[in-house]
Structure 1
Amino acid sequence: MEYGNRYDISKKVSFIGLFLNVILSVIKVIVGFLFKSKALVADGFHSISDVASTAIVLFSIKISQQPPDEEHPYGHGKAESIGTKLLGIILIMTGFALAKSTVNNIISARIDIPGQQVLWVAIISIVVKELLYQYTVRIGKKIESKALIADAHHHRSDAISSIAALIGAAGARMGYPILDPIAGLIVAIFIIKVGFEILLDAIDELMDAVPSQGKMQRIKKQVSDLENVIKVGDIKLRAYGPRLFVDLAVVVPDDLTVVEGHQVSVKVQDEIKKVHPSVKEVLVHIDPESVSEDK
């Protein structure tokens, strides 16, 4: 998929998410404060962090779609990983702030009974955020955007936190007022957990962790079946946003000429790119069989 088209699709999805999150966050925070639900207030601030994360995703994808230049010969795909990392940090900070506030309320015994309006707002939020998750994750997978997929999981975490807010408010209205702040604490812990998962995934990509063991094995099998390829030696994969870069060693017969060895290299590159469209560049090292055996 062309990068310009990819950015346009991401921009459309992100603006839809921004619009809905702004409305939901304002409604949840206002209703939570007016009708005394700590859980819904926590959920509202979670939605506010959604607004920030969507903006980061949009900006990082815009940067990542820029072509390679002299200072960035591999392109700008890492911008998505950086954006995803910032998203995880925002979630963690939001979760800890909400947890601290909720714990203080429980300790000081400032516990109120939420109004019935809290229940309806939580239900609406659950439905809207789950639909937004389904839409965003589908598009994210289609255009192979880790940042957009991470943002989709942020939407899902918001839906789950709304479920906790609903249970807490309903329990409080049924005679168990402690359930509302406890639900707020559960929401905060869940936000922290999701934030750490997103952060660790982004760190893995920034450190060039293997993006897919399964894909690496498929590439190795595919290349091994080519003519004049005795075996595939060392193989490495690294991700730059949606693009993959492959570095592998191919063992060939000793009697091949330099030209024939070059033809094998070109064939390996073409076959990998044909079967795996996300692969941007393939670096092939040609090793004669006798030299390979000596290593």
Structure 2
Amino acid sequence: MSEVSRHDLLKRCGHLCLWLNVLLMGVKLSVGYFYASRALFADGIHSLLDVTADMFVLYAVSMSAKPKDVQHPYGYSRYETLANIVIAVMLIMAVYAIIYDAVQGFYQPSLVMDFRVGIVAGISIVLNEASYRYVSYYAKLLRSDLLMSTAVHQRADAGTSVIVLLATAASFADLTGADLFGAIGIALMILYYALPSLIKSIKELLDQGLDTARLAEIETIINGVPGVVDHHFLRSRFMAEKGYVDVHVVVSPRISVSEGHYIGDVVKETLLKCHDIGDITVHIDAEDDQHYGAKLPDRLTIQEWVDRCEHIDSFQIHYLNGTVELDLVTTQERVVVAEKPLWLSVYRLNKVIKC
């Protein structure tokens, strides 16, 4: 699925939820206010917050569609994470407001709820559950955490409406405080959905990596690429619905630079086929050098030693096992090698016959 069609579907689902929640918000707040139902009014506040959340979702989808640039080399996916945090904080604030209002209601006379409150709650249940099924289908199809979060909000709204419906029935059964307990139940349900979302998004902003099981799968994929000897320094982080991975891949020290680069490209392309990987940076190593910290000479220093030798036409450097190995190439029969320095562990003399 192309990125254009993907973002079109995200926007379509976002607009559907937005206008549905605008309609339900107006009806719930109006009926809840005029028929003195704290539970329905609290449900209306939930729908109001859903409207605000849907606007953040649409904004985040619009921003995340922007291409990478100099200021945002990893793209704009973190806008989705930020939107999730803002939405979750707003929901938690609403929980406080709803519970505070319900506690105040305990000191006021309890009233029997109007049957119209139950009708509105029933309509809300049907519409929100239908929208949940529609949006969650596309969330799974697009593998979008943000869209799935939007779908869950719709089901949460349906759940709060169920509580309103039960509170209405309980009030007709002359159960004192049914409306107030219904409002508190709504608040707790909102908190149930909002708190895990907030924690997950904060962990993303703190660059929490992929889980252990997923990293083990990625390691298996890397080691399965032909030419890969081993790997180390595997790091990851999570942005929106995608993982970003850095890894050092060990290849044979005797192959060419271009072949090592090719193996690294194969590792990258293989991992990018995974739906949850957004990007990967592959560093090619000739060995597992994570424990080596010795300072080794550069090419200019090694060139000075080679110049002291006689009849050496060229040389190739291998930085292995924390030391230097050299392949010396000559076309002469007689070669004079200078005294071996401490940094040199092995040198091999390769004679080339001229044709």
TM-score class, shorter-chain normalisation, is: over 0.9
* CA pair 290-161 structure 1, distance change in 2 beyond 3 A: closer
Distance 1:86 1:292 in 2: 40
- Correspondence 1:18-57 to 2 at 5 A: 18-57=18-57
How far 1:89 sits from its partner (Å)? 0.9
Residue 283 of structure 1 aligns to a residue in which SS?
A: strand
Give the letter for the 1:14 counterpart: G
Contact 1:251–1:292 (CA<8 Å) still a contact in 2? Answer: no
Distance 1:290 1:218 in 2: 20
Q: Deviations over 1:86-110 (max 9, x none)?
A: 110111111111111111111x133
Distance 2:15 2:140 in 1: 18
- Identify the range of structure 1 (161-170 vs 226-235) with the bigger mean alpha-carbon deviation: 226-235
- Identify the range of structure 1 (285-294 vs 95-104) with the bigger mean alpha-carbon deviation: 285-294
Distance 2:103 2:275 in 1: 50
Give the letter for the 2:105 counterpart: N
Q: Which residue of 2 aligns with 1:16?
A: 16
Residue 74 of structure 1 aligns to a residue in which SS?
A: coil
- Identify the range of structure 1 (201-210 vs 76-85) with the bigger mean alpha-carbon deviation: 201-210
Contact 2:136–2:148 (CA<8 Å) still a contact in 1? Answer: yes
Residue 233 of structure 1 aligns to a residue in which SS?
A: strand
Q: Which residue of 2 aligns with 1:281?
A: 279
Going by fraction, where is strand more abundant, 1 or 2? 2
- Correspondence 1:37-116 to 2 at 5 A: 37-106=37-106, 108-116=107-115
Contact 2:21–2:51 (CA<8 Å) still a contact in 1? Answer: yes
Q: Which residue of 2 aligns with 1:291?
A: 289
Q: Which residue of 2 aligns with 1:245?
A: 244
How far 1:145 sits from its partner (Å)? 2.4
Residue 289 of structure 2 aligns to a residue in which SS?
A: helix
How far 1:252 sits from its partner (Å)? 2.3
Give the letter for the 2:227 counterpart: N
Structure 1 length normalisation: TM-score?
Answer: 0.92
Contact 1:24–1:125 (CA<8 Å) still a contact in 2? Answer: yes
Give the letter for the 2:149 counterpart: A
Contact 1:246–1:283 (CA<8 Å) still a contact in 2? Answer: yes
* CA pair 204-2 structure 1, distance change in 2 beyond 3 A: farther
How far 1:139 sits from its partner (Å)? 1.4
Q: Deviations over 1:235-261 (max 9, x none)?
A: 222233344322112222333332222
- Identify the range of structure 1 (254-263 vs 81-90) with the bigger mean alpha-carbon deviation: 254-263
Q: Which residue of 2 aligns with 1:170?
A: 169
Going by fraction, where is helix more abundant, 1 or 2? 1
User: Unpaired runs of 5+ in structure 2?
Assistant: 294-355
- Correspondence 1:149-168 to 2 at 5 A: 149-168=148-167
Contact 2:85–2:202 (CA<8 Å) still a contact in 1? Answer: yes
User: Unpaired runs of 5+ in structure 1?
Assistant: none
Residue 291 of structure 1 aligns to a residue in which SS?
A: coil
Which structure is higher in RCO with an 8 Å CA cutoff and minimum separation 6? Answer: 1
- Identify the range of structure 1 (252-261 vs 166-175) with the bigger mean alpha-carbon deviation: 252-261
Contact 2:232–2:288 (CA<8 Å) still a contact in 1? Answer: no
- Identify the range of structure 1 (95-104 vs 231-240) with the bigger mean alpha-carbon deviation: 231-240
How far 1:47 sits from its partner (Å)? 0.8
Q: Deviations over 1:178-231 (max 9, x none)?
A: 111111111112212322111111111112212454432222101111222222
Q: Which residue of 2 aligns with 1:231?
A: 230
How far 1:65 sits from its partner (Å)? 0.8
Q: Which residue of 1 aligns with 2:215?
A: 216
Give the letter for the 1:283 counterpart: T
Residue 248 of structure 2 aligns to a residue in which SS?
A: strand
- For the aligned residue pairs, the C-alpha RMSD in angstroms reads 1.9
Identity %, equivalent residues: 29
* CA pair 173-290 structure 1, distance change in 2 beyond 3 A: closer
Q: Which residue of 2 aligns with 1:145?
A: 144
Structure having the higher Rg: 2
Contact 2:250–2:288 (CA<8 Å) still a contact in 1? Answer: no
* CA pair 140-211 structure 1, distance change in 2 beyond 3 A: farther
Give the letter for the 2:208 counterpart: A
Give the letter for the 1:182 counterpart: F
How many residue pairs were aligned?
293
